[in-house]
Chains A and B, each alone.
Chain A
Amino acid sequence: MLVLDGATVRFGERAALDAVDLEVADHEIVSVLGPSGSGKSTLLRAVAGLQALDGGRVLLGGADQRGVPVHRRGVGLMFQDHQLFPQRDVDGNVAFGLRMRGAGKAEQAERVAELLDLVGLPGAGRRSVAALSGGEQQRVALARALAPRPRLLMLDEPLGQLDRGLRERLVVELRQLFGRLGTTVLAVTHDQGEAFALADRVVVMRDGRIAQSGAPVEVWSRPASEFVARFLGFDNVVAARVTGPVAETAWGKVPVPDGSPQGERRLLVRPGGVRLVPVDEGPEWTVESRTFRGSHVAVRLRPVDGPPLDAELPLREAPGEGAAVGVEFRAEDVVVLGDDIP
């Protein structure tokens, strides 16, 4: 459906998009994830035609979109803060795209009612958009974007301003809805939870480039680089020399999975892969802090020498602060990281 081929956008010296290649297949839901300033919003604007390319191509349905104005691209875009038209009621907002396409009154009314049902706001058509809550505005914005049946729906921080509970519920609803409708979706977010819950595929961006792309579980379990690992919230990264199945680190010897790259590397240990053992079996660690997280306890461990280590432990196994412990690592929770893109 969508192909980006070396897409480049520059703002002065800085490249907001730096030769980005990306494909989105029909009916696929792709989440672009990245910190602010990574170029993810620019990516959406470039696809929509709101931002001209300085290089490369955008293809929709195989057709180069160069010179095609925004209103002829047939894509949908849900803005970050919704941008509902303040002077129109809910009906007027949802019907807008249909009117632009010259749909008849009856068709408009039918489709608007259908979509308001779909987003869970039946009968809200006559309400003023100013009187809607944040969640309701979000639903209206979604209905408005979906109404003209765009071939590609783009979402810019779709759930950004909503509270946590609502966000977690809506993201599930969205995924089910898109699955049912067969919508092709390109969503942009800085929230990894949202991206992983929504998408078939996650694309992590950094400084206008794609740092990693893959299925959520793949990106989660095998971050490609230290940047991606840290962005996903993993802080257990340490320098290592990998020789065969073992890596030498400041945390001692760490087993690595078979087939890991060899030599001087950076190493990630997922907190779940840390096990505590009695002190006499290895070097001594001190429990620096202990945070209750509901299903588990997060423990920060301080070695005699070297960076701290985060561990996730079952409630009953967690030692108290200040306790002295020994540490072991599980090879399947250790990832030898690739180099960051320059």
Chain B
Amino acid sequence: MVVPVAFFALFFAWPVVSIVERGLRVDGVWQFGRFGETLSRPEILDVLWFTLWQALASTGLTLLIALPGAYVFARFDFRGKGLLRAVVTVPFVMPTVMVGTAFLALVGRGGLLDELWGVRLDTTVWAILIAHVFFNYAVVVRTVGGLWAQLDPRQEEAARVLGASRWKAWRTVTLPALAPSVAAAALMVFLFTASSFAVVQILGGSTYSTLETEIYRQTVVRFDLTTAAVLTMVQFVAVGVVLAVHARTVRRRETALRMVAPEETARRPRGIGQWALFAAVLLSVALLIVLPLGVLVERSFATSHGYGLDYYRALQTPDPSGTFLVPLLDTIGNSLRYAVVATLIALVIGGLAAAALTRRAGRLVRGFDALLMLPLGVSAVTVGFGFLITLDEPPFDLRASWILVPLAQALVGVPFVVRTMLPVLRAVDERLREAAAVLGASPWRAWREVDLPLVRRALLIAAGFAFAVSLGEFGATVFIARPDSPTLPVAVARLLGRPGELNYGQAMALSTILMVVCAVSLLLLERLRTERTSGEF
């Protein structure tokens, strides 16, 4: 408990508070009057309104499309399930910069739809919403589906025998059991879409601006730290309210569930209804996820003189313009190294926090639970900038250190670890731990012997999430990555920011490489997972 609290105090609270202080305190006097002034500006109100409704719409749309997917992954057994699971996770692993890029290639000017039918969506809000669904599909499938697969179907059967219809049994037995994870998924999607940065930046152009892009613009373009600080505070409060509401609704809903091995619950689809559902899910995955990724790959090969490997070759040579000090290919290695370290940090911190939260109850602990989610909703731009101004003096002179990047990335990884682990940890029957203790296991040993094997699945999922968000983290990393070792998303953003076909092509090529790397590591993770679980019995 102490370690996670210290971690958050040092690497989250301090930088954010410092930034706010810098913006709102002039000559030692707090300028709270600036709040009313800033918040009454019509353009700021527009930003706030747009942020809210696009996040709500994105979340609703994502749940609508992804929940059937979660069901299919949890309950159906089919060939290539592991592959498909990896495929739907790829968008989430992709840096948001590249999500924006992929959709630009699909629906933007000169994009696929434009070429075929002259349809362009990049000036409409639909592009943003669809990109958000694309990006968050995996969040729902993984969080909800992971638990769903382990729910004992016999509970539902018991309800059926007691006279409940299929729908009613699902609604009264399965849905309440799933509710915490659905709420957790919805919350994550909401926070992600509300603080969505790169996607809105790329697809929204100058028409649409969210809080996050506005904070970035005020900080970097206008150097108006005061407005940025006010907006950060607004974001802070809004996120706090959302988290409080969420904490209230899920409280006491996480009860001990009967868990079974996921292999036991999956069946081949049966009957027209199930096959239709299965086909619909496959179709939605194909249109929403495979198509944008395919277009991205296609563009990376499409040079001015037909298809070729020109852009890939260009990645191996140092950049002639001197923007990058190293061959762009090196950024892949940088990104992976940072992400691995960030994942380890997130697992340790998040694991400790989740374990502490399982053992204890009470107002304080619940508050901490909610606090852990804050970094997801609070501007990464603020955090990154905050890192620069706070961690540059002893005893934490880390500005020149490589560890700064993984630290910032771990900050967004921890909430995922906690959110994924907690429902499963709480579902572990306390008496199993007691049985282990009576047999001579110390509390730590009991955790290792009882909880860990039961939550290993969740742990792997959590690690996958942490790795993914670390890899894709952009808002904070763009501030603190050193020029000689940029991460891949940073490099892509810089390439996209420069004109020219070669830069665009290189961005696409780099994105494609990362996509393949991610897909392969995800497949390995899937494989590891099934081997381990089947090896137990």
Contact = CB atoms under 8 A, between A and B. Distances in A.
Contacts, number: 71
Given A50-B434, A87-B453, A87-B536, A100 B429 contact: no
Interface in B427-465: 429, 431-432, 434-443, 445-446, 449-450, 453-454
A70 B434 contact: yes
B537 interface: yes
Contact of A148 (B259, B436, B440): B440
A89 interface: yes
B181 to A, nearest CB: 20
A96 interface: yes
Contacts of B434: 48, 50, 70, 77, 79, 83
B438 A77 contact: yes
A71 B438 contact: yes
Contacts of B436: 85, 96, 100
Interface in A80-100: 83, 85-89, 96-97, 100
Contact of A70 (B431, B432, B437): B437
A212 interface: no
From B435, B439, B442, B446, residue with most partner A Cβ within 10 Å: B439
B33 to A, nearest CB: 51
Nearest to B452: A87
B313 to A, nearest CB: 50
A75 B432 contact: no
Interface residues of B, number: 22
From A87, A101, A148, residue with most partner B Cβ within 10 Å: A87
A96 B439 contact: yes
A301 to B, nearest CB: 43
A67 to B, nearest CB: 15
Given A83-B429, A128-B537, A76 B438 contact: yes
Nearest to A82: B435
A254 B438 CA distance: 52
Interface residue tally of chain A, by bracket? 20 to 34
Contacts of B435: 77, 79, 83, 85
Contacts of A70: 434, 437-438
A12 interface: no
A85 B449 CA distance: 9
A71 B442 contact: yes
Contacts of A74: 440
Contacts of B536: 87-88
A148 B453 CA distance: 22
Contact of A101 (B437, B440, B446): B440
A69 interface: yes
A206 interface: no
Contacts of A76: 438-439
Contacts of A49: 437
Interface string A145-161: 10010000000000000
Given A87-B454, A87-B536, A100 B431 contact: no
A83 B450 CA distance: 11
Contact of B438 (A75, A128, A130): A75
12 contacts: A50-B438, A76-B438, A83-B431, A83-B432, A85-B435, A85-B453, A86-B259, A87-B453, A96-B441, A100-B436, A148-B439, A148-B440
B166 to A, nearest CB: 26
Contacts of A97: 439-440
A62 to B, nearest CB: 21
